[in-house]
Amino acid sequence: MAALAHVVPLTSVDGVYTYRVPDEMAAEAVPGARVLVPFGRRQITGVVAERVDGGTDGLKPLHDVLDARPALPPDLLALTRWVAEYYLCAWGEAVKAALPSGTEVESRRVARALAPPDAWDEKRGRAILRALHERNGTGLPVAALAEVLNRKTVPQNLLRRMEAAGVLEVEHEVQDASVTAKTARHLRLGDGAEDAEVRGAKQRALLDWLAEAGEVVLQAEALAATGASSSTVKSLETHGLVEAFDAEVERRADGMDVEAVPPAAPLDLHPAQTAALEAIVGAIQTARAETFLLHGVTGSGKTEVYLRALREALDRGKSAIVLVPEIALTPQTVRRFRAHFGDRVAVLHSRMSPGERLDAWTRIRDGVYPIVIGPRSAVFAPVGDLGLVVVDEEHEASYKQFDPAPRYHARDVAVMRAYRAGAVCVLGSATPSMETVANANAEKYTRLEMPERVPVRGPDGTTRQPAPLPPVRVIDLTRERQIRRLKGALSHDLREAITARLAKGEQTILLQNRRGYAPVLTCDDCGWTPACRDCAVSLTVHKASHNLRCHYCGRAERIPRPCPSCGSPALALLGSGTQRVEEEIEEVFPEARVLRMDLDTTSRKGAHRKILDRFGRGDADVLLGTQMVAKGLDFPRVTLVGVVEADTGMLLPDFRAAERTFQLLAQVAGRAGRHDLPGEVLLQTRNPEHPALQFALRHDFHGFALGELGERMALGYPPYGRLVGVEVKGPHEGSTFALADRWGAALRTEAGRVAGVEVLGPVPAFVGRVKRWWRVHLLVKAPRSLPASVLASLVRTAEGRVKTPSGHRVNLDVDPVGLY
């Protein structure tokens, strides 16, 4: 009998593999520790799942233990296993999601010369030896040798012969990403003369972006934001327009954006807050794993309740996790938590470098920060002795991960994590998801309601009364166009309302949930419209960067003129994106100071914060943007909210379209009149009768939910049904559909054995081609009463019967959210 370890490899290969534990590693190779193991011809990172005793016959030894203290505490290791089983992915994929990116150790084969170049009498071998000599000491990764020889593949045979002859050696070398991630390519504007040399739309986009950034930026970030490639950088570099250089990645001491925030004292709670807090505290005190739905209208003071509950948990020596949608990680939110808990709060966000993330993660694990606030992935933060998990804006779709697997829903993982830890979970929202409402209706979750806004000073200045929810007016755009001959995007009434705010020095938030200048460019004569070469969507006109862009893959192209199809000069722009609305506001209100907030103005680190800071200081009159402006903002001087087009998204073929529309409208409406100044909301729409809009207009969540839940029940959709999405992707239309058909057949065979399970599809995805991948969908639908595990094993069985041809991919998505 010897010591053995069951190891979860950190790959998409499912399963647990057993290795021998050498004596010198016995003390450290405990469950949760990262280890280096031989895996096929590679050496990869894994995590020890379990230690057992047994025979060592044919077992390979662990190569190394990478942690003196286990990377994953036992509770998280167990949680990842649940995630893998529920979300139908490999355990290793779930473990990877729980570890900070960059903790993975890769090994690669590196070659070193042992003899001079002329020791080999054939051309290719000599070239290899020469290249190795240039890099002596460090050696050269074998993969890079292909490039040396200008070939597609590495000549493995030649290498073996050279190794056998003793002129070179090839060794496995371990690379720790957490160490190597420290330097990276940076860019800044060069001082070459502009414009003349700039040809492509991508070059221009990159230059514009760098000009706006006005500082040194990570190349990767700049390329991701503009769709430019490293060859774009190279050609700009030759013209002296851009400088590229390697530099150390800025890494703050504690991985966080520390800013001194003056401490705040707790407020006197109003009665509804007190009642909610007492229920939550009661559960924390008795360490009762209870899940609460904190349903409070916008501005009802939910955050104040979270703060007090967190304090209770901390006072009992417990730690806590607060999940917020990425978009809500605004300086405002973070400051409120910092004001109460100072440097006991760790803030995680997606813009952290791998090094920063690793630092923060290590310190959280070491117990430095008892409170962690962050987006989706923070649900896996390695805090010990968990007492409370808060999920703010629990209805947000961004809690669901799309790619890569695990396609988990952070809210549901949060509920599960809290439950397993005996901790309290609070799901807060003004517009809870139908899933959560159904769970509250079924009394699985305890419902806490705060139906009124926080009291403010009344007109006499002394008595306090709840600030009313703002009155909402609907403007029928179809009528406006007919009767008032409306040309632009802003109706007469909306213009008047903005004028009134400008006169009073009050602020306006405008929502237009579509970025770019115009969504459609079309030829008036032949009807031609530009489409992406790689995706089945049309290209959006971007005026700021003078190009057409694909919002799916980022491809940028020059705006054609004349029409490439018929030569007519009559190219028209249809519809408005944020850029076009901005232009209209600037035309109509030349004196107004406008800030635009969308993906294009916030792609830089810190940009989002800067915009909101300026608006908060009163340096702007109008904040215009996509859904980013709809959520979580609390500015006392905002008295007008205008929705330019309430219809975007309303009519999408998705069973959640109405729910999403209602949520967006109710949330954005909730930004107006939150304090002493009364607010007003104007919704412009072409579908004034749509129920989502009608209920939002009356601030009637319960009315909306009642109708919506009725429909879901009738159709067997969530929350009354279970769904598993199967996305089949491939390089050719025919082969992709053929694979989807085989999946359909396998799923139907399995579904035939279980009552109530239905298989829908295959059908082309809503966007049938993205980045050259054809996409076909199937949907497995089952009644809620069927246990999730039964549905999971049904899909797994079908999966085992269909072979995925090379170059194709199949993604399983449990509880899918939205169209993709």
Ligand X SMILES: Nc1ncnc2c1ncn2[C@@H]1O[C@H](COP(=O)(O)OP(=O)(O)OP(=O)(O)O)[C@@H](O)[C@H]1O
User: Binding site for Zn(2+): which residues?
Assistant: 523, 526, 532, 535, 550, 553, 563, 566
Alpha-carbon gap, residue 730 to 426, rounded angstroms? 41
Considering beta carbons, is residue 430 or 571 the nearer one to ligand X?
430
**By the rule CB under 6 A, 507 interacts with ligand X:** no
Phi/psi at 704 (nearest 5 deg)? -60, -50
User: What is the distance in angstroms between the CA of the first residue and the CA of the last residue of the chain?
Assistant: 52
CA distance 731 to 736: 7
Backbone angles phi, psi at 479, to 5 degrees: -65, -40
Of 72, 535, 548, 817, which lies in the binding site for Zn ion, with binding defined by CB under 5 A? 535
CB-CB neighbours of 245 under 10 Å: 10
Asked whether the beta carbons of 165 and 132 are under 8 A apart, the reply is: no
Query: In this chain, which stretch among 174-182, 302-310, 353-361, 618-626 interacts with ligand X, using CB under 6 A?
Result: 302-310
- Contact partner at residue 553 from Zn ion, ligand X, none, CB < 5 to 8 Å by partner kind: Zn ion
CA 352 centroid distance within chain: 13
> Which one, 611 or 794, has the nearer CB to ligand X?
611
Distance of CA 402 to the CA centre of its chain: 8
By CB atoms closer than 10 A (0-12, 13-18, 19+), residue 375 is: buried
Q: Is the CB of 340 or the CB of 605 nearer to ligand X? A: 340
- Contact stretch for ligand X (CB under 6 A) within 159-167, 263-271, 401-409, 641-649: 263-271
Query: Quick check: 534 binds Zn ion (CB under 5 A)?
Result: yes
81 to 19, 85, 289, 406, 416: CA distances (angstroms): 20, 6, 20, 11, 12
Question: Using CB distances below 5 to 8 A depending on partner kind, what does residue 550 bind out of ligand X, Zn ion, none?
Answer: Zn ion
Encoded amino acid at 205, one letter: A
Compute the distance between CA of residue 118 and CA of residue 167 in angstroms, rounded to an integer. Answer: 10
Q: State the Rg of the chain over Cα.
A: 29
Q: Does 767 bind Zn ion (CB under 5 A)?
A: no
Kindly state the helix (H) or strand (E) to which residue 697 belongs, with its residue range: helix 691-697
- Binding footprint of ligand X, residue count (CB under 6 A): 19
* Count helices and strands in the chain by DSSP H and E runs: 24, 35
Nearer to Zn ion, 56 or 538 (CB): 538
Q: Which stretch binds ligand X (CB under 6 A): 296-304, 377-385, 484-492, 738-746?
A: 296-304
553 part of the interface to Zn ion, by CB under 5 A: yes
- Residue 765 contacts Zn ion per CB under 5 A: no
Query: Smallest distance, Å, CB 747 to Zn ion?
Result: 30
**Under rule CB under 6 A, residue 395 binds ligand X:** no
Q: Site map for ligand X, 423-442, x if CB under 6 A?
A: -------x------------
Give residue for tokens 């009608």.
Answer: 694
Q: Which stretch binds ligand X (CB under 6 A): 128-136, 298-306, 404-412, 439-447?
A: 298-306
The binding track of 613-652 with respect to ligand X, each residue x by CB under 6 A or -, is -------------------x-x------------------
Identity of the residue numbered 133: H
Of 105 and 430, which has the nearer Cβ to ligand X? 430
Q: Which stretch binds Zn ion (CB under 5 A): 132-140, 543-551, 619-627, 724-732?
A: 543-551
Nearer to ligand X, 232 or 298 (CB): 298
Quote the least distance from Cβ 203 to Zn ion, whole Å: 19
Q: What is the pairing mode between strands 319-323 and 105-113?
A: unpaired
Residue 277 to residue 266: CA distance in whole angstroms = 13
532 contacts which partner out of ligand X, Zn ion, none, CB within 5 to 8 A by kind? Zn ion
Min CB(440)–ligand X separation in Å: 17
Q: What are the C-alpha distances in Å from 181 to residues 104, 169, 363, 688?
A: 11, 27, 19, 52
Instruction: Please give the Cα distance from 264 to 663 (Å, whole number).
Output: 31
* Minimum CB distance to ligand X smaller for 365 or for 453: 453
Dist. CA 37–CA 28, nearest whole Å: 15
From candidates 92, 100, 301, 432, binder to ligand X by CB under 6 A: 301
Binding-site positions:
523, 526, 532, 535, 550, 553, 563, 566
Q: Is 673 near ligand X (CB under 6 A)?
A: no
> Could you give the C-alpha distances from 135 to 3, 107, 172, 174, 736, in angstroms and in order?
42, 19, 17, 18, 45
Residue 53 neighbours by CB distance under 10 Å = 9
State the nearest-atom distance from the C-beta of 633 to ligand X, in Å: 8
The residue (of 336 and 542) whose beta carbon lies closer to Zn ion is: 542
- For residues 94 and 92, what is the distance between their CA atoms, to the nearest angstrom? 5
Q: Which of 82, 402, 552, 720 lies at the binding interface for Zn ion (CB under 5 A)?
A: 552
CB of 551 to Zn ion, least distance (A): 8
CB under 6 A: which stretch of 187-195, 219-227, 261-269, 655-663 binds ligand X?
261-269
In whole angstroms, give the CA distance from residue 144 to residue 134. 13
From candidates 80, 203, 219, 273, binder to ligand X by CB under 6 A: 273
Size of the site for Zn ion (CB under 5 A): 7
- Per partner kind, with CB cut-offs from 5 to 8 A, the member of ligand X, Zn ion, none near residue 296 is ligand X
CA 537, 541, 542, 546 torsion: positive or negative? positive
Q: Is 338 in the site for ligand X (CB under 6 A)?
A: no
Q: Nearest distance from residue 280's CB to ligand X, in Å?
A: 15
Q: Residue 109: which of ligand X, Zn ion, none does it interact with, CB under 5 to 8 A by kind?
A: none
The residue (of 239 and 335) whose beta carbon lies closer to ligand X is: 335
DSSP string, 58-78: TPPBP-EE--SS-SS-HHHHH
**CB of residue 431 vs ligand X: minimum separation in angstroms?**
9
Q: Is there binding between residue 154 and Zn ion (CB under 5 A)?
A: no
Residue carrying the six token digits 């053995």: 4
| 55-73 per-residue burial string, b: 16 or more CB within 10 A, e: under 16 | eeeebeebbbbbbeebbbb
674-693 positions binding ligand X, by CB under 6 A: 674
The amino acid sitting at 621 is D
For residues 682 and 642, is the Cβ–Cβ distance under 8 A?
Answer: yes
- Indicate whether 349 belongs to the interface with ligand X (CB under 6 A): no
Residue where the block lists tokens 């190009």:
547
| Interaction site with Zn ion (CB under 5 A) | 532, 534-535, 550, 552-553, 555
| Interaction site with ligand X (CB under 6 A) | 267-270, 273, 296, 298-304, 430, 454, 632, 634, 670, 674
